[in-house]
Amino acid sequence: MRKVLLLLLAFLSVTGIAQADTNYPPDNKNVRLTSTNLPIVWMTVNGATIDRYDRITARMKIIHNGNGQLNYADTIAHPGQKVNYEGYVALRYRGNSTFSGSDKKPYSFRPLDKPLEDGGSKKKVDILGMGKDNNWALLAPYSDKSMMRDMLAFEISRPWMEYTPQGRYCELFLDGTYYGVYILSEVVSKGKKRLNLDDPTEEGDGLTGGYIVEVDRDEWGCYISKYHPVNNVGSPYSYQYIHFQFKSPDVDEITSTQMDYITARIDQMEDSLWKYSLGREPTYRELLDEQNFIDYQLAMELGHNVDGYRLSGKFFKRRDSVDPRFKMVLWDMNLAYGNSDYYNGWKTNTWMYKNNPTLDQYGDPQLIPFWWYKLNKNPEYTAALKSRWAQYRRSNLREDRLMAVIDSLANVLTINGAESRNSQAWPRWGWYVWPNYYVADNYADEVAWLKDWLLERIAWMDTQLGYDPNEFMRGDVNGDGEVNISDVAVLIDYLLTEVEPDGGREAADCDQNGQVSIADLSLLIDYLLAGQWRSLP
């Protein structure tokens, strides 16, 4: 009997079946997928062990018959399906806490022209309509049981930020085993369809851009800020440091000349922030895009993101001839929107930029740069922050619109059973998964809690930022937070067709007489010419 068992184990090892379990399979490896509204991603490594740092060759095939169409796992019974991509990829695991703290692992992949073993080179591929590039991620929503926090943050921020990554839900098979719902996503990188940055040269204007840098953990080759993080009264934590990682060019590719330039520019930006004081014109505006930083702060604060500012804090710089200022990029929101039981992440009534606990309190050396403390000491910055919040609230952060986005994402995940299959593979309802604050019993429970949390968070931010949701902006007929010529076009269309404008009847009632008529159009045009509302009778 023992001999038979040894022979069986040897056979499994040779065929790769035993090795497949090293690739962190789901609890239930027998989930069946017949059809789905999501693209199906087939990844094949033939039993090879996927590594966290070194890439291995894999075969990838993506079936996507188009939006609104079903995709079928049985390609023999359903021939002629549309293949979005089929070929080799260089595959590895990705992430820090999303890798070490999750049973369901995320991946990074780069399309190849041939296997790595044959000298394969990366190639640019348009995947699921997100534009040609050679750097992609398969994000693995796990602790985020709604599976929508990253996607929600992307959708909220897209109208405001210069660049926000795109993502597409999909269902993944690895070596024939169903692994669940993933987000096939762009990563923050250079590319014509992403951050369209020039490669830096060694001199002149070419040396000044473009660069992507990240506030993150202390890793080999990172640059240490000259300034320590600060507490809530501005006193430095003299024994803690902020680290900058080089992402593009990365630490293995950046030249000494380029490193000297970009670190000196970071120093210059931090010097200008540190030296800012009330009554003095801030020189930091020449070195960072203040509007962009406001948009980034509002995204972090709306999500009350425990990783916000201090981890995955990606920022970039173009060449000086294009734009000399640093700008932030949104990323890594899976622990946001109340999904954390540490650093007060579950609360709706505190500012996260002030949440800078010391190493002695939590044992975490990653703290928030002093930038945000200094910026929020500038009354002009905070006034602009409040104004921008009002614009948000009148447009894509109206409660009805935000709830509609959540409902839409939830519908995509549930309409054809993707969430149910994921929960069969990874049964976690009713379980605490680090770092959940709320432990939901089912998907509907999780989504309802997320909605309630967001509504409470928005209400608190309204009170702090001086926005009255019961007021409306007269003349903002299309509800985009601004009054301009586009509102005239919408109002004319409304008067001709009587179809309710997006901003609502009240916003179109410019003279506030309870009716929408040609008089409102006259008043709106008069406002646009004069710059102020004339007195009402």
Rounded CA gap, 149 and 449, in Å? 13
Rounded to 5 degrees, what are φ and ψ at 250?
A: -80, 175
The one-character DSSP state at 23 is: G
The model carries a pTM of 0.87
**Beta-bridge partner residues of 183:** 139, 169
Given a contact cutoff of 8 angstroms between Cβ atoms, the answer to whether 488 and 496 are in contact is no
Structure-block tokens of residue 59: 């075969």
Closest CA to 73 of 62, 60, 86: 62
Closest CA to 97 of 430, 334, 338: 334
115: three-class secondary structure by DSSP: coil
Given a contact cutoff of 8 angstroms between Cβ atoms, the answer to whether 488 and 521 are in contact is yes
Cβ density class 141-150: b for 16+ within 10 Å, e for less: bbbbbbbbbb
245: three-class secondary structure by DSSP: strand
| Domains by residue range for the chain, with CATH | 17-186 (no CATH), 204-394 (no CATH), 472-537 (1.10.1330.10)
Closest CA to 527 of 489, 479, 484, 494: 484
Q: Give alpha helix (H) positions in 185-254.
A: 204-207
pLDDT in tens, the chain (537 residues): 444 333 433 333 333 333 346 899 999 999 999 999 999 999 999 999 999 999 999 999 999 999 999 999 999 999 999 999 999 999 999 988 778 889 999 999 999 999 999 999 999 999 999 999 999 999 999 999 999 999 999 999 999 999 999 999 999 999 999 999 999 999 999 999 999 999 999 999 999 999 999 999 998 899 999 999 998 888 999 888 999 999 999 999 999 999 999 999 999 999 999 999 887 888 999 999 999 999 999 999 999 999 989 999 999 999 999 999 999 999 999 999 999 999 999 999 999 999 887 656 666 778 999 999 999 999 999 999 999 999 999 888 999 999 999 999 999 999 999 999 999 999 999 999 999 999 999 999 999 999 999 999 999 999 999 999 877 667 888 877 678 888 898 889 888 888 877 777 778 888 878 788 998 888 888 888 876 656 544
Residue 97: per-residue pLDDT: 78
Rounded CA gap, 478 and 394, in Å? 10
Give, rounded to a whole angstrom, the gap between the first and last alpha carbons of the chain.
Answer: 99
